[in-house]
Structure 1
Amino acid sequence: MSFNKDEMLIMPAVDIKDGKCVQLVQGKPGSEMVEIENPEMVASHWEELGAKNIHVIDLSGTIDGETSFNVIKKILNEVSVPIQLGGGIRDIDYAKKLLDLDIERIIIGTMGIEHPETIEELSDEYGSDRIMISLDSKDNKVVIKGWQEKIDKSPTEISQEFKEHGAGSILFTNVDVEGLLGGFYTEPVEELKKSVDLPIVYSGGITTIDDIKKLNESGVEGVVIGSALYKNKIDLTEALKYQKRIVK
C-alpha cells in the first residue's frame, strides 16, 4: 500500500519475541509489559477492527539474531492487509527472501546505515516503495544495532542520504519516549518532515487520541501504535477516525 498525503495510516504494532507478541519498554529485553501467544491471531484481531496495515517487528531477530521467519509466515497467512516488517534484516539475501514472501514493505536499519548500497540494490530490484529506512533517534542522534550503538549524525542529517540511495519512506522512532506511555515531542517529527521529501511513519510514546491528532496535523503519512493499544490507553476504532487528513 503506497502512502497517500491525504491520509495518515494507523498501524497497530505486532512485535515478535520468542514466538510471542510482546511490548518492551524502550526495547530492553526483560522489560516485557505485554506477552501474548499466537502473534498471528493478534494481527488478525487488529485487521478485524479495521486496520489497513500491520506493523511487524521481529525483536528476536534484532536482539538475538535468530529471526522469527516461521511466525512471520503465519502472520502473512492469517491476514489479508499489507504488512510492513522490520527487525533482524542484517543481510541482503534475507531482505530479498522477505520481499519474495510478499511482505509489502521491509524496514531496514543497521544494514542500510552501514551499507547504503544495499538500499540501492533492493530499491532497483523491488521498487523504492517497498524499502523503508528506520531512523531511530536517542538524544537527537541516530542509534543502530538494536539501539545499542549511537552514530554521530542526527535523523535530519542522515535522511537526505537515504533518499539519494533510493529509500521510499522513513520510519522515525524517538527512543527517548518509546514504550513509556508518556506522550511524545512534536519538534523532532516536524523537523524531519521539513528536511526530507519522503513519506514518514512515526513511532514512539503515542499514548492518547490527542497524540494521534497532533501527528495527523504534523503531516506524517503513518503512525505506529503499540503499548497504548495493548494497555487500553487508545481504542483502535477511535484512532482509525484520524486516518483521513485533518484540514486546518
Structure 2
Amino acid sequence: MSFQKDRMLIIPAVDIKNRKCVQLVQGKPGTEQVVIDDPASVAEKWESLGAETIHVVDLDGALGSDKNTDILEEIVERVSVPLQVGGGIRDSDYAGKLLEMGFERIIIGTMAIEKPGTVKELAEEYGSEHIMVSLDSRDSRVVIKGWTEKVPFTPVELAGRLQEEGAGSILFTNVDFEGLLKGFDVKPVLELVESIEIPVVYSGGVSSIKDIELLSGTGVAGVVIGSAIYRKKIDFQEALRYQDPGIRDE
C-alpha cells in the first residue's frame, strides 16, 4: 500500500526480541514492559482489528544479534495486509531478500547513512515506494546502530539528501520520547514534513488519542504506535478514526 494524500495511517508495531513480541523503553535491552509469545499471532490480531499496514521490527537484528528471519517469514505468510520491516538490514542482499519474501517496504537506517549510494541502488532495483529510510533522533541528532551511536546531522539535514537518492518515505522516530508514554514534541515533526516532499511516518511517545489528533494536523502520512496500544493507553479502533478526515469529523 502506498501512502495517500490526506490520510494518516494508524500503524501498530510488532517488535521482536528473543522470539517474542516486546515493547522496550527508548529501545534499551532489559526494559521490556510488554512480552507476548508468537509475534505472528500478534500481527494477525492487529489485522483483524482493522490495521491496513503493520510495522515489524527485528530488535535482535538491530542490536547486532541473530536475525529472526524465520519469524519474519511466518508473519508474511499469516498476514495479508502490507507490512513494513526494519532492524538489522545492513546490506543490500538482505534488503532484497526481505522484499522478495513479501514485505511491502524495508526500513533502512544505519546502512543508508553509513553507505552512501545504497538507497539509490535499492530504489533503482526495487522502486522508491519500497524503500523507507529511518531517521531516529536523540537530542536533535540522528542516531544509528540500534540507537547506540550518534552522527553529527539533524534529521532535516539528512532527509533532503535521502529524498534525492531515491528514498520513497521517511520513518522519523523521536527516541527522546520512545516508550515513555509521556507525549512528544511536535515541532521537529513539522520541520521534517515541511522540509521534504516524500511521506513522513512518525513514531515515538504517542500515548493518547490527543497525541494522534495533534499528529493528524501535521501532514504526516502515518503514525506507528507501540507501547500505548499494548498497555491500553490508546484504543486501537478509536485511533483508526483518525485515518480519514471525513470519518474523523463525523
Which TM bucket (shorter chain)? over 0.9
> Any idea what SS the aligned residue of 1:218 has?
coil
Percent identity, please.
59
Equivalent position of 2:135 in the other structure: 135
Deviation of the 1:116 alpha carbon: 2.4
Residue 193 of structure 2: aligned partner = 193
> For the residues of structure 1 that align with 2:222 and 2:245, how far apart are their CA atoms?
11
Counterpart residue number, 1:107:
107
Displacement of 1:63: 1.2
Q: For residues 92 and 105 of structure 1, what CA distance do their matches in structure 2 show? A: 14
TM-score, scaled relative to structure 2: 0.97
Query: Secondary structure at the residue paired with 1:223?
Result: strand
User: Paired residues, what number?
Assistant: 248
TM-superposed CA distance for 1:124, in Å, is 0.4
Structure 1 unaligned runs (5+)? none
Pairing 1:201-240 to 2, within 5 Å after superposition: 201-240=201-240
The whole-number CA distance in structure 2 between the counterparts of 1:102 and 1:36 is 24
- The one-letter code matched in structure 2 to 1:198 is I
Offset at 1:78?
A: 1.0
Per-residue displacement from partner, 1:165-186 (whole Å, max 9, x unpaired)?
Answer: 1000000000000000000111
Distance in 1 of aligned mates of 2:120 and 2:102? 19
Q: Which deviations, in whole Å up to 9, do the C-alpha atoms of 1:192-218 show, x marking residues without a partner?
A: 011111100000000000100110111
Which 5+ residue runs of structure 2 have no aligned equivalent? none
Paired residue type of 1:73 = E
Q: What residue number does 1:173 align with?
A: 173
Contact 1:63 1:146 in 2 (8 A): yes
Q: Contact 1:116 / 1:162 at 8 angstroms: preserved in 2?
A: no
**For 1:100 and 1:116, how far apart are their aligned partners in 2?**
23
TM-score, L = length of structure 1:
0.98
Q: Within the alignment, does 1:78 sit opposite 2:78 as a pair?
A: yes
Deviates more, 1:200-209 or 1:110-119: 110-119
Report the residue type matching 2:92 in the other structure.
Answer: I
1:182 aligns to 2:187 (yes or no): no
4+ runs deviating over 3 angstroms? 245-248
- Paired with 1:138 and 1:202, the residues of 2 have a C-alpha distance of 14
Over aligned residues, Cα RMSD in angstroms?
A: 1.1
1:126 is aligned to 126
- Equivalent residue letter for 2:136: D
- Residue-by-residue CA offset, 1:71-128 (whole Å, 9 max, x unaligned): 0011111110000000000111100100111100000000000112111111001100
Residues in 1 aligned to 2:225 and 2:234: alpha-carbon distance in whole angstroms: 9
What code does the residue aligned with 1:34 have? V
